[in-house]
Amino acid sequence: MAKILKKEQWSDTIFSMLVEAKDVAKAAKPGQFIILIPKEHGERVPLTIADSSVNEGWVQIVFQVVGKSTLELSRMNEGEELFSFVGPLGMPSEVEKFQGKVVMIGGGIGIAPIHPIAKKLKEMGNHVVSIIGAKTADLLIMEDKIREASTEVIVATDDGSKGKKGFVNAVLEELLATEADNVSKIWAIGPPIMMKVCAISAGKFNKPIIVSLNPIMVDGTGMCGACRVTVGGQTKFACVDGPEFDGALVDFDELMARQRQYKELEQKALELYKSKEGVA
Amino acid sequence: MAERIKASEKFKRDRVPMKEQDPKERINNFNEVPYGYSFEEAIKEAQRCLQCKPAACVEGCPADVHVPEFIDKILDEDIEGAFKEIKLTNALPAICGRVCPQEEQCEGACVMNKKGKPIAIGRLERFVADLARDKGILDEPPAESSKASKRIAIVGSGPAGLACAADLAKLGYDVTIFEALHKPGGVLVYGIPEFRLPKAIVQYEVDQIKKMGVKIYTDYVIGYIKTVDELIESYDAVFLANGAGAPSFLRIPGENLNGVYSASEFLTRSNLMRAFDFPNYDTPLDVGKRVVVIGGGNVAMDAVRTAKRLGAEEAIIVYRRSRTEMPARAEEIEHAEAEGIQFELLTNPIKILGDENGKVKGLECVRMELGEPDESGRRRPVPIEGSNFVMDVDNVIVAIGQNANPIVARSATGVETNKWGYFVADEETGKTTHPKVWAGGDIVTGAATVILAVGAGKKAAKSIHETLSQK
């Protein structure tokens, strides 16, 4: 059982939790994820690790309320225990000391999972340029932590309420236009459409880009194949072969279609829960 | 005390049938199909046993259950005695009594099988275990032992891990099981449906093993949170029983369309996550009007019967060979037929067709005929040219077997695997290439049966005990 040690609400729909999980914190490496079940009747929810502390024995998760499970999770309080919390899962990010700059792109809730990777890369002596973007200034999360984990930070918002106005891929292209020769690796994590356009932008400059995929999963240990994705024409299981893949090779359209598989049922479950619990 | 009947009478009598839920009723629920024997039925069946010495049925049982002895105690109406007799060698009688392929094991070896009327050993085992559970009859607690200082780590809480843990706990070892999922039981909880093996029964037998002092850590994935190498350092022996665990797909076009499942996913959603009770449980499962399950094994039967219960109007098995080659147990096929499952035999899928939203709408197949026998001894199916046709379907469930899951193996540096990724282990002892590591069950043999896994767990326990006693 994993106790919620600290809960913060960062926007209407974005929450952060520190969850007590000593062994997970000890084993966790950048790029890995956990799966939790909020309450007994719940489903298994995969979330990428945003941060962890070996000394204090916690793992940080950041999530956006999109359906019944995340709504139920957001309504749990400090001191309560999650029904299930398992991790770390997936292959860690392949981090090393690169020759040139490393560009870390985080979009929306995807800013959280780039944090541990950026932090590790910086520790290893890399020059880390982070591009973080959100729809609007209020939805921009973890800016301070990203600044600590980066050498330079560029902020972008869709509406221009903070930093540059526009999408993160436009910022990436602008950066690559002037110093493509000096960039050796790019990570992009966020909604599939954002990762797709970033991969196209990186491709224009022939730059390698890693993306972290978040398909629907069940067990998260390679047993069920729910999370299969097509990468370079081959079927991969995101849970055990990933979650990180070469962005140039990922079939993002298939990923997006597969994420919609249970849309109607998810909607039904959400409405039922809202009416039962009396939440708007 | 029930009457002992004469041998001549024993030969005259037929097997006592086990009552079961009407097929028309049961396709609308997930309750168990057979009801189990009543006391009278069990006595009547037990009376037929010839009490052979030596007993061929015991030879045929991977768990060495003392069959004649427990059947004799049923006739004594001594259920506690019968239960303890079974528990001497088998920690999971209510489970084995339900899911073992007895026709290939104890009942296949039974002398009465020559007459086509083997003693219904599985049903009697189940009867004893169920009655003991209802009456609260418990096994003897393990003796306090000096061996408690020796610690054993077991990876996986499926049938192999549980059987090994129970035998070692009985001998007084300090046993810890590490389970990746949030519930213990492995394939018994995620794979086998409620209507064949109620989860409350699995839970009960697991609880009995816990009462013997076995610790079970759930949500603990060896290979990630700790490596096998780390377990080797901190335990006296390690038993790897993590199961086969990675679903095979057909590698045909359209397999990643929405509405296509591996049988493992389909069954895990329904069994472990209780999707059959959505929205009371949150995990969804999308089942349309016409569901095709590809494959002819027990898992295929479980999936197709589950689909029927989840509301499929037509649930269809597509299998490339004929009925005689189907690897599923005869009983499973018969149950499926009674439930109105359709069979498209000698039929091979070649392409899954989707609509504009990326959802399955059809399955293109080709008819097959049987040619010369292949390396497995079964006649090889060959496509009949020009026989292609398309079935309209809403779901395709792929139940064609499993590969080795690499997570555990890649964290076990000194333990050899074969070219398919399964651990190399001695068949009789479970010993691997590492002196402190044993392995058994599906991660050694590839997908097999519950009872073979139980047998492997027991053999490993014996070998671990022998090895540690020598030190």
DSSP 8-state class, residue B268: I
Predicted local distance difference test score (pLDDT) of residue A256: 96
Chain-chain contact of A86 with B245 (C-beta, under 8 angstroms) = no
B contact test, residue of A23, A69, A223 with most B CBs within 10 A: A223
Give the model's confidence band at B375: pLDDT under 50 very low, under 70 low, under 90 confident, else very high.
Answer: confident
Contact A222 B357 (CB under 8 A): no
Option in A23, A32, A218 nearest B268 (CB): A218
Q: Which two tokens stand for residue A20?
A: 């007590």
Q: How far is CA A158 from the centre of its chain?
A: 19
Please, which residues have CB within 8 angstroms of residue B95's CB and are 6 or more apart in sequence?
Answer: B159, B188, B197, B201, B202, B205, B450
Contact indicator for A88, A48 with CB cutoff of 8 Å:
no
Instruction: Tell me which residues of chain A, numbers 81 to 110, contact chain B at a CB-CB cutoff of 8 Å.
Output: 83-89
The pLDDT value given to residue A211:
98
pLDDT tens profile A240-256: 999 999 999 999 999 99
Contact B224 A89 (CB under 8 A): yes
Phi and psi, residue A158, nearest 5°: -60, -35
Instruction: Tell if the CB–CB gap between A257 and B357 is shorter than 8 Å.
Output: yes
* Position B148 confidence tier, pLDDT thresholds 50, 70, 90: low
With a threshold of 0.90, tell me whether the complex ipTM lies above it. Answer: yes
Please tell me the distance from the alpha carbon of residue B408 to that of residue B223, in angstroms, as a whole number.
5
pLDDT at B448: 86
Residue B221 main-chain phi, psi, to 5 deg? -95, 105
Please report the DSSP string for A85-144 in residue order: EEEEESPPP-----SSEEEEEEEGGGHHHHHHHHHHHHHTT--EEEEEEESSGGG---HH
Q: Do A219 and B180 touch (CB under 8 A)?
A: yes
Q: What is the pLDDT of residues B281-340, one digit of tens each?
A: 999 999 999 999 999 999 999 999 999 999 999 999 999 999 988 999 888 999 999 999
User: At B144, is the pLDDT very low, low, confident or very high (cuts 50, 70, 90)?
Assistant: low
Does residue B471 surpass a pLDDT of 80?
Answer: no
Of B140-149, B293-302, B373-382, the least confident = B140-149
Which residues in chain B are closer than 8 Å to A225, comparing Cβ atoms?
246-247, 249, 262, 264-265
Confidence of residue B140 (pLDDT cuts 50, 70, 90): confident
The model's confidence at residue A106, banded by pLDDT at 50, 70 and 90, is very high
The pLDDT of residue B143 is: 63
Asked if A49 and A85 count as a contact pair (C-beta separation under 8 A), the reply is no
How high is the pLDDT of residue B61?
A: 94
A183-201 pLDDT, tens digit per residue, is 999 999 999 999 999 999 9
Q: Is the pLDDT of residue A124 over 80?
A: yes
First CA to last CA across chain A, in angstroms?
Answer: 29
Helix extents (H) in chain A:
22-27, 68-74, 111-123, 143-148, 168-179, 192-204, 238-241, 252-259, 263-277
Interchain contact A276–B (C-beta under 8 A): no
Return the C-alpha torsion angle B369, B375, B377, B380, nearest 10: 0
Binary contact (A224, B224; C-beta < 8 A): no
List chain A residues with CB under 8 Å of B264. 223-225
Distance CA A186, CA B449 (A): 47
Q: Which residues in chain B have their CB less than 8 angstroms from residue A218's CB?
A: 265, 268-269, 273, 283
d(C-alpha A29, C-alpha A264), whole Å: 35
Average pLDDT, chain A: 95
- Given a contact cutoff of 8 angstroms between Cβ atoms, the answer to whether B237 and B154 are in contact is no
Angle value at C-alpha B377, between B372 and B380, nearest 5 degrees = 40
Query: Looking at the partner chain, which of A23, A42, A89 has a beta carbon nearest the beta carbon of B282?
Result: A42
Mean pLDDT in residue range A141-156? 96
Q: Which of residues 164-183 of A touch B (CB under 8 A)?
A: none
Contact list, B181 vs chain A (CB under 8 Å): 86, 219
Question: Given this model, what pLDDT does residue B463 score?
Answer: 97
Tell me if residue B196 falls in helix, strand or coil: coil
pLDDT digits 0-9 by tens, B259-295? 999 999 999 999 999 999 999 999 999 999 999 999 9
CA-CA distances (angstroms) from residue B467 to B87, B243, B382, B434, B470? 24, 24, 50, 13, 5
pLDDT for B145 equals: 59
Contacts of B226 in chain A (CB under 8 A): 23, 27
* Cα B457 to Cα B87: distance, rounded to the nearest angstrom: 15
Instruction: Report yes or no: A54 and A25 within 8 Å, Cβ to Cβ.
Output: yes
Q: Indicate whether A103 pLDDT > 60.
A: yes
pLDDT band at B88 (very low <50, low <70, confident <90, very high): very high
CB contact under 8 A, A260 and B180: no
Question: Distance between CA atoms of B284 and A262, rounded to whole angstroms?
Answer: 7
Host H or E run for residue A212: strand A209-212
Contacts of A240 in chain B (CB under 8 A): 246, 405-407
Q: Which two tokens stand for residue B197?
A: 């093996």
Sign of the CA dihedral running B181, B186, B192, B198: negative
Residues recorded for chain A:
280
Q: Which of A69-78, A198-207, B240-249, B374-383 has the lowest mean pLDDT?
A: B374-383
Q: Who's near A212: CB < 8 A, 6+ residues apart? A: A31, A48, A110, A113, A187, A189, A195, A242, A243, A244
In tens, the pLDDT along B65-87 reads: 999 999 999 999 999 999 999 99
Q: Which of A224, A258, A265 sits opposite B278 (nearest CB)?
A: A265
Task: Over range A2-7, report the average pLDDT.
Answer: 96
Which chain A residues touch B190 with a CB distance below 8 Å? 219, 223
Query: How would residue B379 be classed by pLDDT, with cut points 50, 70 and 90?
Result: confident
Q: A280 exposed, middle or buried (CB, 10 Å; 0-12, 13-18, 19+)?
A: exposed
pLDDT value for B466: 95
pLDDT in tens, A149-182: 999 999 999 999 999 999 999 999 999 999 999 9
* pLDDT score recorded for residue B116: 87
pLDDT of residue B65: 95
